[in-house]
Amino acid sequence: MNTPTKRMLIRFCSIGLLFGASINTIQATALNNDYGKQLSKVRLTDNTQLSYQDFIEQARVTGLSIAVVDDFKVVFSETAGLKESGTQHKIDSNTAFSTASISKPVTATVVMMLAEQGKLNLDVPVSTYLKRWTMPESDFTKDNPITLRQLLSHTAGMSQGGFADFHLGDDIPTLVESLNGQKLPRYKTPISVEFEPETKWNYSGGGYVIVQVAIEDLTGKPLAQLAEEMLFTPLNMQHTTMYQNDQAKFLTNVAKVHDLDQQVIRDGIPICPQVAPSGMWSTPLDMAKFTIEYQKALAGKPTEVISTWVAQQTTEVQTLKVTGGWSAGWMRFEAQGNLDWFSHGGSNTGTGGHVMATMQDGKGIMLFINATTQTRNPAITMLIDSVIKNLQWTQPFVPSQQLLPKGQGDKMIGRYLSPFDQIVNITQEQNKLIYHNPLQIGGGQFSGELHYLKDNRFALDAHANVLGLELNPVDNQVYLTLFRTGTSLKDHAMRKLQQGEQLPFEVAENQGVEQSIKAYSVWKKQYPASRLLSSNALNNAGYMALAKKDFQAAINYLSVYGALYPDDANAFDSLAEAYMTKGDIQLAVDNYKKSLGLNADNQNAKDMLKKLNAEKAL
């Protein structure tokens, strides 16, 4: 069975203005200057220009709200579309959206401010501050207890990546129940430690829940109150809250969540009891106030709330692993226009956005869209690209004058396995080294020239890190390695594949069921923690192939899913759908029956068996 979640691929008034100025005044000012002319239309990749209303209709999203910052002030804002489809309730500049994971840098800021006040230490065991709940015991943490800084940077090794949304009337878990794996649609076991802290990176919303419990236990106040008192009120963020729909202080002007058909999901207002990782509601203009305060602090300008120390601590890159850059609160891998950004994306069911601001010069883009991921993420990417292109926010890349040493280019040429289990190619084309990545975090493909710097280091246009080849002492194999200029950080990011080596998904794409199962089984023995082996990855791959009508590849992936997870009813439900779509009715029936045998409550299998048996009887 394929759900919207399972179909997703991986892979978001300024302080410089008077606090008393109204939002409407800000908007009117912005739209009467050159920025208004430059940003009044959305520029697509083919240079077609659309109004924002035409854009949302073409992108199949219900509504959007965007703000643009330059030179530490809001210079443009725009809204389009509806808060709720089928109504006349238009989104306005005060309409708040569920920001999802953009809550994380706000939580991190509160933690840093408490640290600055001397109320906590970022680098002592987080268990020091926990009263309601106890950290799980683990051999991974016997000699290296988990700290707040590690939790904030996703280097603590915790499980529970993200959480399902709840709505009014649901049995909503408390924070402690959430950490104990209770009342959670996505998890049946308590949060756990999966690796030794700081040895890897793993996105963990559950880690942020631990942070929330710690600071609430320490201060005696809920996070929603702390954020309101420490950030939202002093920054005049009047349309931002971490209170939820079942609480008195929740907002009234909100954008409801929508599915792929632009229909409101349930009551349209998700409740996120895990407030720290995903419970904030806000507007682009309010997020502009927040990020401008950060930018001023980083620039050493006077600020009202966020100090230079807090801004530096929260944006300092902690790790390059997996993503290419993450701090204790912010994503630090984006480099659109060859600018250095701190940013964060957010994705709850049917809503989300992106917030990004430069480390220097006070530029920023804040936007939210109340649509599902499949349509929302491409729209977000197009809007960001449009702003950067229209405002010419591009710092030209100046290549080094150093000559590439003889033979160095030949060493770089080859295939590499990316952290997202995609094949990255480096080829030579017209005496240039070209880097091809089929999937970057956030989606989209990338191809660009590698520019030689020195000492086996290469720069890549619009990428935050430099690259080089290194031997990894862990397995004595060559890796494409990431380095961050100005730091000692590095990451053996991508193993260079041997000549003729085939990855299991290549077998699944080109051979049969038996060969595919064998390839994945061998891979499991060699790399038991590989993302390629997860049930979600296999299910996604199967449905991707099915969407392309590559029935054999779909059947291969989903057969592997069933072979690796023989007790998972969903594996055989998905395989049955693949056979049914191909037209092999008997095998579809056989697999729906197998799924039903594993899960007698699988209503989809019951319905499909009834339908298929009726068709066979005709």
pLDDT per residue over 95-114, tens digit each?
Answer: 999 999 999 999 999 999 99
Residue 476 has pLDDT above 60, yes or no: yes
What are the pLDDT digits (tens) for 401-456?
Answer: 778 888 888 999 999 999 888 899 999 998 899 999 886 555 567 889 999 998 89
Tokens standing for residue 27: 């908007």
C-beta separation of 120 from 112 below 8 A: no
Report H helices in 391-468.
408-412
Residue 14 has pLDDT above 80, yes or no: no
Mean pLDDT of 295-314: 98
Could you tell me which of 322, 364, 313, 321 has the C-alpha nearest to residue 341?
Answer: 364
pLDDT score of 443: 55
C-beta separation of 480 from 493 below 8 A: yes
C-beta separation of 467 from 458 below 8 A: yes
Contact residues for 201 (Cβ-Cβ < 8 A; gap 6+): 153, 154, 155, 319, 321, 322, 323, 326
What are the structural domain ranges in the chain? 4-390, 408-496, 504-617
- Phi and psi dihedrals of 26, rounded to 5? -60, -45
Class level of CATH domain 408-496: mainly beta
Q: What is the DSSP string of 239-292?
A: T-B---TTSTT--SSBPPPB-TTS-B-TTS--B-S-HHHH-EEE-HHHHHHHHH
Q: How far apart are CA 465 and CA 422, in angstroms?
A: 19
Q: How many CA atoms within 13 Å lie on the side-chain side of 110?
A: 29
Residues across the chain: 618
SS3 of 122, please?
A: coil
Residue 264 has pLDDT above 90, yes or no: yes
Q: Which amino acid is at 161?
A: G
More confident residue, 567 or 5: 567
C-beta separation of 542 from 561 below 8 A: yes
Residue at token pair 């008393």: 20
What Rg value do the Cα atoms of the chain yield, rounded?
A: 25
Mean pLDDT of 292-298: 98
C-beta separation of 418 from 426 below 8 A: no
Q: How far apart are CA 590 and CA 593, in angstroms?
A: 5
What are the pLDDT digits (tens) for 371-400?
Answer: 999 899 999 999 999 999 999 999 887 777
Architecture per CATH, domain 4-390, reads as 3-Layer(aba) Sandwich (3.40)
Q: Which amino acid is at 561?
A: Y
Q: How far apart are CA 17 and CA 25, in angstroms?
A: 11
What are the pLDDT digits (tens) for 532-549?
Answer: 898 888 998 999 899 889
pLDDT score of 444: 63
Segment (H or E) for 526: helix 513-526
CB atoms within 10 A of CB 2: 17
pLDDT score of 421: 80
Q: How far apart are CA 324 and CA 320, in angstroms?
A: 4
Strand intervals (E) in 256-398:
280-282, 317-319, 326-327, 341-348, 351-358, 364-369
For 504-617, CATH number out of 3.90.930.12, 2.60.40.790, 3.40.50.10310, 1.25.40.10 equals 1.25.40.10
Contact residues for 347 (Cβ-Cβ < 8 A; gap 6+): 12, 100, 101, 373, 376, 377
Residue 214 has pLDDT above 50, yes or no: yes
pLDDT score of 440: 57
Greatest alpha-carbon pair distance for the chain in Å reads 78
Tokens standing for residue 167: 């709505």
What are the pLDDT digits (tens) for 99-152?
Answer: 999 999 999 999 999 999 999 999 999 999 999 999 999 999 999 999 999 999
Q: How far apart are CA 42 and CA 387, in angstroms?
A: 8
Share the mean pLDDT of the chain: 91
489 burial via Cβ count (<10 Å: 0-12, 13-18, 19+)? middle
pLDDT score of 25: 33
pLDDT range class, residue 83, cuts 50, 70, 90: very high
More confident residue, 511 or 444: 511
Angle, in degrees to the nearest 10, between helices 373-390 and 52-59: 140
Tokens standing for residue 484: 């961050």
Angle, in degrees to the nearest 10, between helices 308-315 and 103-116: 130
Q: How far apart are CA 60 and CA 54, in angstroms?
A: 10
pLDDT score of 138: 95
